[in-house]
């Protein structure tokens, strides 16, 4: 529970620092181009905050604040990625232990319906894929939080351009929607292929001694090549 709360907090902080950095670029560009400040109230609030912190509101102070904010954001991002990996490994270990416990507690008549390669694939490959999927979901959530902050910052700077970009993004998502079903079919095919490869490897290794005695290594190699 603590890891989840910390991870959620880090996602929000990374997104907030990213949004503030984006807004801070506006007065920096204004200073570089004309030396005048921005009329945007939010940007003016950032400049006033620099003054309140004792930093000069000129270009030097803004660049210093931007560099400090960038360093803070990268440190927060590192912590977020670390906690994401930690939570992923916890999920993988939990599901692998739970699955193995269920296999040990099942009736032999049920376990004997599949060969050992089937259970090996579940405990190693499929559980790892669950962990990878869980991490992808966390990364998607972090991207969603960042997108919300980006939208808020963009609406602050230019509402109409933000709406145009948002409409274009929605249209692009609708066009790419058909690829989701293809990805599902590819995932199912990959699961079947992994089970077949595990079964072939187990069968080949268990019969390796006999294959060497009979000189049939080429046949095992051909069967492995067919499965792969």
- CA–CA separation, 103 vs 99, rounded Å? 6
**What pLDDT, in 10s, does the model give residues 148-191?**
888 888 887 777 877 887 788 777 777 766 666 676 677 667 76
Each residue's pLDDT tens digit, 83-97:
999 898 898 888 888
Rounded CA separation 96/61 (Å): 52
pLDDT of residue 111: 76
Alpha-carbon span 100 to 105, nearest angstrom: 9
Model confidence at 133, pLDDT cuts 50, 70, 90, reads: confident
Tell me if 14 sits within 8 A of 29, measured CB to CB.
Answer: no
The whole-number average pLDDT for the span 48-75 is 78
One-character DSSP codes across 55-84 = --SSHHHHHHHHHHHHHHHHHHHHHHHHHH
């Amino acid at each position: 529970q603590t890891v989840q709360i910390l991870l959620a907090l880090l996602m929000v902080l990374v997104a907030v620092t990213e949004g503030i950095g984006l807004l801070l670029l506006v007065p920096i560009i204004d200073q570089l181009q004309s030396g005048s400040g921005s009329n945007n109230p939010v940007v003016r609030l950032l400049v006033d905050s620099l003054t309140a912190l004792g930093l000069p509101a000129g270009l030097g102070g803004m660049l210093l604040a931007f560099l400090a904010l960038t360093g803070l954001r990268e440190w927060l991002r590192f912590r977020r990625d670390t906690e994401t990996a930690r939570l992923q490994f916890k999920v993988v270990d939990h599901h692998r232990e739970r699955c193995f416990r269920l296999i040990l507690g099942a009736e032999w008549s049920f376990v004997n319906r599949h060969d050992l390669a089937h259970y090996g694939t579940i405990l190693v490959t499929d559980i790892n894929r669950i962990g990878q999927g869980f991490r992808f979901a966390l990364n998607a959530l972090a991207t969603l939080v960042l997108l919300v902050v980006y939208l808020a910052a963009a609406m602050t700077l230019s509402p109409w351009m933000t709406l145009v970009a948002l409409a274009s993004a929605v249209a692009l998502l609708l066009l790419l929607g058909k690829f989701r079903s293809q990805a599902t079919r590819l995932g199912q095919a990959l699961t079947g292929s992994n089970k077949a490869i595990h079964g072939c490897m187990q069968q080949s290794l268990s019969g390796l001694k006999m294959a060497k005695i009979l000189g049939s290594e080429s046949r095992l190699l051909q069967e492995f090549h067919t499965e792969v």
